[in-house]
């Protein structure tokens, strides 16, 4: 008999059905046992009255893999409005030990390190599955928006010959006896590909040898990278970023209504016009409002960002706010200066609920500008990158969204590890 | 004025337009200069009669980045049936040196090492751009087919704590002072996630420290990985693989008609029933037909595969043929044996035009089966993986498609490096 998913049972009221999944939990009352069977999509309740079968199921540990054949019966008080009566059970696979935590709890009742040590098991929990599906829908929305805007997906090297992009926090690889490094971002390659396809994106792993274990940093994360040519300035990039975020939210809303309920998540609204404020204006506003001396600082502090998040919500009803024109001193070498005020840059951060979510901006595009910006650096390892600019590049720019940070923010997770399948950090290399 | 792409000019016949792109080539005749402007989508012909502008453009080297404003004029003999008259040129960025090969040639006229040394420039060639877009459409078809079949996309660690999946050809990473390794595949993680989401896929880089430079191998390639639970046997996996390939071909046909012309590529047809032959039967057929002694060999040779490719085309009119039931001795430890004939496996290869394109099969799913299969191996580094099977796993299986190998086969490239943006191999680590 063809398998029915738990979420499709209601449509089979009165019919003989076959379901399959994991024994999530069983409640044994005096004359009846309720068994909950968890599959990929949800949980089905099975009502067992036959003593022989109650005994059979009673001996099973949680996570036993089962096929259950019985009759679907519409029942108001059952979870999902349907349950299975007169069941027969067939065991596909029996666990050799019980789980170290109870998957049946609405929230897993264990400390984060325990959950991460048993990550594959923790991912079976309905809340975790919902988060993974919401992440997948977010990425799908990212891609489909960009596809519709004429962008092409690329795949670039993760092993690179030099550590020169930032110079710090790189992982070294033994590359056939030579030193090589794990790419910290596809920045150079996405710029190089603008010379060919004008508009490109990549979804892939990036690697940072972060020397501290914080709640926001991982040694590997998934970067959603975009780069586009023939822009006037960073405002063209910001406009695409707005469309991308809107597409991500829309795709999650469309594909994951049930998962949003499970996670109890209200999606943010992406305004048609995200409020935007220049870095220098933001500093004056913060200083005037708080009395803290911030004007002249080269960057915003976390409390500055929180203040701006509150301001955007209060004044513009927006969860999002662009801060534009960060000082050049704090931005990477390829950042394009503001032609009118060259101490400021044509680059921006997007804050979401008072925290940085995305960084982006316009890049340098002329070879001589790169030579000047890199005047104190050995250019030999950068030659493949710099050659691009010797052969004619248009004004261009882009941005990168960290998938795990995005997920942590919309789910309200305090630690990015809560929304990462198998996190990697200073101390964690397994599972 | 808003920019018009070269491919949209015909619709603007008689109108003032602005195009942008790279100076692809110029032909200077006695009284007129034809300039070809290449943008992301195609090439536009610009007709220059004004002597001042002929002189201005005559001084430009190929790859100069330009904005051209002029009048679109429908012209039968022009490429694309349209050209631009009475143009004005504005330089966005001037190259500092001419390209080392002529991008205007129908096929780049340089040796592969030269092209790879100048990969970012070579990728500007229309044929290369078409290949990159066909690859992107292939991956899009892969994902959308799987999305429609209830699969969830995942992102798994590329840095792993042990080199135990195959034990050979791994890259070592200095992980905060400890040895770690680059993942050779997401095999373990996709199986672990079947325990949660039942049906998962991943598109991501995998790493092989191949000690030889061959035309088929790369140190990093893009793997399209699939894994699914609650299967009866490998035939369920093969059915999904057929749908996926069909979806990939369909998406390319739909999205890239122009690119298919540029590459001069005829897409394969994926039959509704791909012919399938058991390994042992295939060997008997090959031995009878060729006189070569192959029965009893543990694997098929390249010439055996070619013979089967010809057989499938002759007898079934199919570019594809499944070879099922490979001997266990040649398959990885997690391979499920054929219950009827345990020296053979429930695993398969898919041959495309006589060459292996995909490997897949059913995996072991019971903990004791893993203990037996790994009886001579240190289990400690595998514990995170094996824990999955202690907690109940359904019968499952999957497959992996190498994106670069797929592209090389359908494009007819002799070397996978021809269809890889920035290849990595024994000797090549840049650009």
Tens of pLDDT along A274-327?
999 999 999 999 999 999 999 999 999 999 999 999 999 999 999 999 999 999
Indicate the helix (H) or strand (E) that contains A251.
helix A234-255
pLDDT of amino acid A166 = 65
pLDDT of amino acid B166 = 65
Cβ-defined contact of B429 to A93 (cutoff 8 Å): no
A242: confidence class by pLDDT, cuts 50, 70, 90: very high
Of A171, A198, A204, the CB nearest to B40: A198
Strand partners, B333: none
What is the value of pTM for the model shown? Answer: 0.97
Question: How would you classify the pairing of strands B172-175 and A396-402?
Answer: unpaired
Cβ-defined contact of A155 to B205 (cutoff 8 Å): yes
Dump pLDDT digits (tens) for A339-350.
Answer: 999 999 999 999
User: Does the bond joining B431 to the residue before it have cis omega, within 30 degrees of 0?
Assistant: yes
Only one residue has tokens 């992301």, namely: B40
Of A205, A381, A421, the CB nearest to B158: A205
A75: tokens are 């029942």
Give yes or no for a contact between A356 and A305, defined as CB atoms under 8 angstroms apart: yes
A7–chain B Cβ distance below 8 A for any pair: no
pLDDT in tens, chain B (431 residues): 899 999 999 999 999 999 999 999 999 999 999 999 999 999 999 999 999 999 999 999 999 999 999 999 999 999 889 999 999 999 999 999 999 999 999 999 999 999 999 999 999 999 999 999 999 999 999 999 999 999 999 999 999 998 766 667 999 999 999 999 999 999 999 999 999 999 999 999 999 998 888 998 999 999 999 999 999 999 999 999 999 999 999 999 999 999 999 999 999 999 999 999 999 999 999 999 999 999 999 999 999 999 999 999 999 999 999 999 999 999 999 999 999 999 999 999 999 999 999 999 999 999 999 999 999 989 999 999 999 999 999 999 999 999 999 999 999 999 999 999 999 999 999 99
Q: A66 to chain B: which residues are within 8 Å by CB?
A: none
Of B198, B392, B431, the CB nearest to A95: B392
Burial label, B235 (beta-carbon count in 10 A; 0-12, 13-18, 19+): middle
Closest CA to B355 of B326, B316, B386, B321: B321
Q: Is the ipTM of this complex over 0.95?
A: yes
pLDDT of amino acid A164 = 67
Strand partners, A24: none
Q: A384 to chain B: which residues are within 8 Å by CB?
A: 119-120, 430-431
pLDDT of amino acid B164 = 67
pLDDT of amino acid A212 = 86
Contacts of B92 (CB under 8 A, 6+ apart): A230, A365, A394, A395, B20, B65, B66, B67
Closest CA to A193 of A328, A388, A43: A388
Closest CA to B245 of B147, B408, B357, B363: B357
Domains, in order of start, for chain A: 6-98 (2.40.50.140), 121-419 (3.30.930.10)
CA B410 distance to own-chain centroid: 9
Best residue in B39, B144, B155, B423 for a mutation probing chain A (most A CBs within 10 Å) = B155
Cβ-defined contact of B393 to A65 (cutoff 8 Å): yes
A145–chain B Cβ distance below 8 A for any pair: no
Q: B148 to chain A: which residues are within 8 Å by CB?
A: none
Cβ-defined contact of A383 to B143 (cutoff 8 Å): no
B306–chain A Cβ distance below 8 A for any pair: no
Of A120, A159, A403, the CB nearest to B388: A120
Q: A205 to chain B: which residues are within 8 Å by CB?
A: 155, 158, 204-205
CA pseudo-torsion sign B37, B40, B43, B46: negative
pLDDT of amino acid B326 = 98
- Taking CA–CA distances from B203, the nearest residue in chain A reads A204
A280–chain B Cβ distance below 8 A for any pair: no
**Whole-angstrom distance, CA of residue A146 vs CA of residue A154:** 12
Dump pLDDT digits (tens) for B43-81.
Answer: 999 999 999 999 999 999 999 999 999 999 999 999 889
B5: tokens are 């792409």
Looking at CA atoms only, how far is residue A82 from chain B in angstroms?
Answer: 22
B93–chain A Cβ distance below 8 A for any pair: yes
Pairwise pLDDT comparison (A162 vs A387), residue with the higher score: A387
A388–chain B Cβ distance below 8 A for any pair: yes
Contacts of B281 (CB under 8 A, 6+ apart): none
Give yes or no for a contact between B114 and B101, defined as CB atoms under 8 angstroms apart: yes
Q: B97 to chain A: which residues are within 8 Å by CB?
A: 390-391
Pairwise pLDDT comparison (B165 vs A58), residue with the higher score: A58
**Whole-angstrom distance, CA of residue B390 vs CA of residue B340:** 25
**Whole-angstrom distance, CA of residue B44 vs CA of residue B37:** 5
B174–chain A Cβ distance below 8 A for any pair: yes
**Whole-angstrom distance, CA of residue B297 vs CA of residue A314:** 74
**Whole-angstrom distance, CA of residue A355 vs CA of residue A406:** 11
Cβ-defined contact of A392 to B94 (cutoff 8 Å): yes
A421–chain B Cβ distance below 8 A for any pair: yes
Of B152, B229, B368, the CB nearest to A132: B152
């Amino acid at each position: 008999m063809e398998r029915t998913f738990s979420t499709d049972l209601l449509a089979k009221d009165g019919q003989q059905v076959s379901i399959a999944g994991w024994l999530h939990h069983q409640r044994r009352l005096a004359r009846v046992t309720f068994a909950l069977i968890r599959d990929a999509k949800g949980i089905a309740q099975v009502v067992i009255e036959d003593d022989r079968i109650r005994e059979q199921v009673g001996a099973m540990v949680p996570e036993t893999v089962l096929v259950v054949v019985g009759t679907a019966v519409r029942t108001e008080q059952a979870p999902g409005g349907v349950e299975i009566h007169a069941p027969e059970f067939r065991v596909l696979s029996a666990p050799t030990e019980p789980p170290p935590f109870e998957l049946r709890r609405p929230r897993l009742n264990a400390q984060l390190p325990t959950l991460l040590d048993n990550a594959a098991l923790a991912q079976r929990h309905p809340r975790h599955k919902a988060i993974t599906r919401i992440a997948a829908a977010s990425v799908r929305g990212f891609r489909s928006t960009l596809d519709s805007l004429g962008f092409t997906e690329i795949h670039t090297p993760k092993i690179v010959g030099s550590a020169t992009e930032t110079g710090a926090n790189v992982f070294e690889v033994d590359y056939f006896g030579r030193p090589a490094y794990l790419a910290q971002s596809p920045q150079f390659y996405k710029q190089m590909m603008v010379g060919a396809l004008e508009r490109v994106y990549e979804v892939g792993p990036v690697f940072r040898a972060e020397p501290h274990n914080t709640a926001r940093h991982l040694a590997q994360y998934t970067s959603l990278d975009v780069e586009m040519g023939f822009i006037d300035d960073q405002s063209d990039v910001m406009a695409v970023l707005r469309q991308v975020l809107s597409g991500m939210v829309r795709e999650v809303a469309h594909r994951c209504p049930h998962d949003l309920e499970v996670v109890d998540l209200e999606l943010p609204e992406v305004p048609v016009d995200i409020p935007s404020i220049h870095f220098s204006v933001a500093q004056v506003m913060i200083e005037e409002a708080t009395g803290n001396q911030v004007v002249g600082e080269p960057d915003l502090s976390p409390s500055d960002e929180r203040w701006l998040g509150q301001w955007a919500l209060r004044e513009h009803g927006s969860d999002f706010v662009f801060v534009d024109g960060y000082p050049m001193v704090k931005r990477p070498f390829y950042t394009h200066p503001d032609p009118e005020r060259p101490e400021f840059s044509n680059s921006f951060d997007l804050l979401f609920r008072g925290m940085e979510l995305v960084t982006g901006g316009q890049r340098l595009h002329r070879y001589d500008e790169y030579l000047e910006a890199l005047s104190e650096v050995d250019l030999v390892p950068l030659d493949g990158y710099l050659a691009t600019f010797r052969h004619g590049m248009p004004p261009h720019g882009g941005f990168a969204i960290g998938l795990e940070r995005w997920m942590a923010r919309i789910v309200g997770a305090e630690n990015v590890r809560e929304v990462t399948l198998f996190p990697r950090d200073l101390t964690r290399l397994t599972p």
